[in-house]
């Protein structure tokens, strides 16, 4: 499964304000699907020219997408904290 849920938390330090929402990751992939379909012929052409196995390329990128689960990024400064996690 390619990840599961993305959670985004924004917390304002000055004053009150915590915004927390999550959404399933498949919605992101669904939005990116048209772009992927459009770039697929270009990718195949590059693989053909460079003599690279396109199945291997797709397999590696698929592996990277699957491995995203557990990634967390948090940026904390004086005014706010923003945290993004893929669970």
Partner 1 sequence: MNEHRRQILQMLSQGQITAEEAEKLIVALEKEPESGSTPKVKAKFIRVVVEDGPTKVNVRVPMQLLRAGVKLASLIPPQARIHVDSALREHGMQIDLSQLKPENLEELIDHLNDLTVDVDDKNGKVRVFSE
Binding interface with partner 1 (CB under 8 A): 50-52, 56-57, 60, 63-64, 66-78
Kindly state the smallest distance separating residue 78's Cβ from partner 1, in Å.
5
Q: Secondary structure of the chain: what % helix, strand, coil (to 5)?
A: 45, 30, 25
Kindly state the smallest distance separating residue 2's Cβ from partner 1, in Å.
12
Residue nearer to partner 1 on the CB measure, 31 or 77: 77
Gap between the Cα atoms of 75 and 20, Å rounded: 15
Residue nearer to partner 1 on the CB measure, 34 or 78: 78
> What value does the CA radius of gyration of the chain take, rounded to a whole number of Å?
18
């Amino acid at each position: 499964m390619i990840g599961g849920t993305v959670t985004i938390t924004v917390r304002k330090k000055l004053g009150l304000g915590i915004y927390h929402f999550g959404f399933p990751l498949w919605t992101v992939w669904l939005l990116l699907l048209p772009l992927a379909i459009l770039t697929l012929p270009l990718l195949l052409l590059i693989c053909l020219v460079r003599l690279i196995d396109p199945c291997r390329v797709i397999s590696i990128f698929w592996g990277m997408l699957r491995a995203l689960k557990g990634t967390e990024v948090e940026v904390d400064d004086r005014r706010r904290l923003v945290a993004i996690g893929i669970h």
